[in-house]
């Protein structure tokens, strides 16, 4: 069956390397226990052992299942790792690198962007870089924001350091924003949206069954492949490392790896391709500073 293209844009089609019609990235946000540690900063937050254990399932079991799954399909993935997760589980970064994967930054304590100052963000970035340098002697090229929010200060820090970003969703192929290469994510292809369930009365709905989500992800991939786009899959160690979700991912990878014109590679490789191809001059959006918009619209800074 030939998939009807859905492309509807004023821009020309995105250009992939010779012989490739679309791209696919398998990314893991290795959050483990880091968001819970960040919550502990607040003295009034409950001290929850149940959620801590669920999250520690990630570094203990889930991440190794994901690594084995990737090996079975010979796929190189990108692992975005908070500094404190690397610090608490020093076996992780070396294992990712040894098995041929890319590693990228993901905050230190998985700091939520709306809760940190510019200076705190920079401090977290530098502390994370130090851990990566110490454990693997490698300075990552990429950054993914915790919970996928960004500020003008953060983008500028990435620009100054020459990092790519993978936290925004303005296209479904790479683009440039504020002089930073953006390799975009999208919430609909993130496992946490459907499967995150922490228990203890904190959740508003039950986790989805994997079947309908697999169908939706396969539809998204088939349409994006026909369109020449990028499918950026994001999973989490402690969520998708559960057995039946590994099975679901296996089915997804079976389908995608069966398509020889799909470029299956790391986020860093995609970012490098963007910078070294005709796409670089085609997809550039200005950085819209929300503070300046507020000033212009309402005559004051918020
Ligand atoms: Zn995260």
Tell me, what CATH number does 235's domain have? 3.20.20.370
Q: Flag whether 9 is in a domain.
A: no
Q: Flag whether 14 is in a domain.
A: no
Q: Flag whether 201 is in a domain.
A: yes
CA–CA distance, 31 with 238 (Å, rounded to integer): 8
Unique residue bearing structure tokens 């089609």: 13
Q: What's the total number of domains in the chain?
A: 1
41-71 tens-digit pLDDT: 888 887 889 999 999 999 999 999 999 999 9
The closest of 218, 212, 208 to 239, measured between CA atoms, is 208
CA–CA distance, 177 with 154 (Å, rounded to integer): 12
pTM score, whole prediction: 0.94
Query: 128 or 4: whose pLDDT is higher?
Result: 128
Q: How many whole angstroms from 71 Cα to the centroid of ligand 1?
A: 23
Q: How many whole angstroms from 90 Cα to the centroid of ligand 1?
A: 18
- The set of residues, in sequence order, having a beta carbon less than 8 Å from that of 143 and lying 6+ positions away, is 80, 104, 105, 106, 125, 158, 163, 164, 165, 166, 167
Q: Above 70 in pLDDT, residue 9? A: no
Q: How many whole angstroms from 110 Cα to the centroid of ligand 1?
A: 6
The pLDDT, as a whole number, for residue 294 is: 83
Q: How many whole angstroms from 125 Cα to the centroid of ligand 1?
A: 14
The pLDDT, as a whole number, for residue 289 is: 82
Confidence of residue 4 (pLDDT cuts 50, 70, 90): low
Q: How many whole angstroms from 82 Cα to the centroid of ligand 1?
A: 8
120-179 tens-digit pLDDT: 999 999 999 999 999 999 899 999 999 999 999 999 999 999 999 999 999 999 999 999
Q: How many whole angstroms from 31 Cα to the centroid of ligand 1?
A: 5
Q: Flag whether 6 is in a domain.
A: no
Q: How many whole angstroms from 275 Cα to the centroid of ligand 1?
A: 26
Domain that holds residue 230: 22-298
Q: Flag whether 291 is in a domain.
A: yes
230-236/22-29 β-pairing:
parallel
233-285 tens-digit pLDDT: 999 999 999 999 999 999 999 999 999 999 999 999 999 999 999 999 999 99
Q: How many whole angstroms from 292 Cα to the centroid of ligand 1?
A: 28
């Amino acid at each position: 069956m030939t998939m009807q293209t859905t492309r509807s844009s004023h821009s020309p089609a995105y250009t992939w390397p010779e012989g490739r019609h679309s791209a696919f990235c398998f990314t893991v946000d290795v959050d483990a226990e880091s968001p819970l540690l960040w919550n502990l900063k607040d003295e009034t937050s409950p001290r929850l052992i149940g959620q801590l254990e669920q999250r520690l399932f990630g570094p203990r079991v889930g991440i190794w299942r994901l690594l084995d799954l990737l090996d079975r399909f010979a796929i190189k993935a990108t692992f975005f790792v908070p500094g404190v997760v690397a610090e608490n589980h020093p076996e992780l970064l070396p294992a990712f690198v040894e098995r041929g994967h890319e590693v990228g930054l993901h905050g230190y304590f998985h700091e939520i962007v709306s809760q940190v100052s510019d200076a705190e963000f920079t401090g977290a970035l530098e502390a994370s870089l130090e851990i990566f340098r110490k454990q693997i002697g490698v300075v990552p090229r990429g950054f993914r924001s915790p919970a996928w929010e960004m500020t003008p200060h953060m983008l500028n820090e990435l620009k100054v350091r020459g990092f790519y970003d993978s936290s925004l969703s303005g296209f479904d192929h790479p683009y440039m924003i504020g002089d930073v290469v953006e390799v975009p994510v999208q919430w609909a292809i993130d496992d946490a949206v459907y499967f995150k369930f922490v228990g203890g009365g904190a959740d508003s709905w039950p986790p989805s069954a994997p079947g309908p989500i697999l169908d939706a992800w396969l539809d998204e991939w088939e349409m994006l492949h026909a369109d020449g786009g990028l499918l950026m899959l994001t999973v989490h160690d402690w969520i998708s490392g559960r057995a039946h979700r590994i099975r679901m991912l296996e089915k997804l990878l079976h389908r995608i790896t069966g398509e020889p014109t799909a470029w299956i590679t790391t986020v860093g490789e995609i970012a490098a391709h963007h910078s070294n191809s005709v796409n670089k001059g085609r997809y550039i959006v200005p950085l819209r500073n929300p503070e300046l918009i507020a000033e212009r619209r309402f005559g004051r800074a918020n």
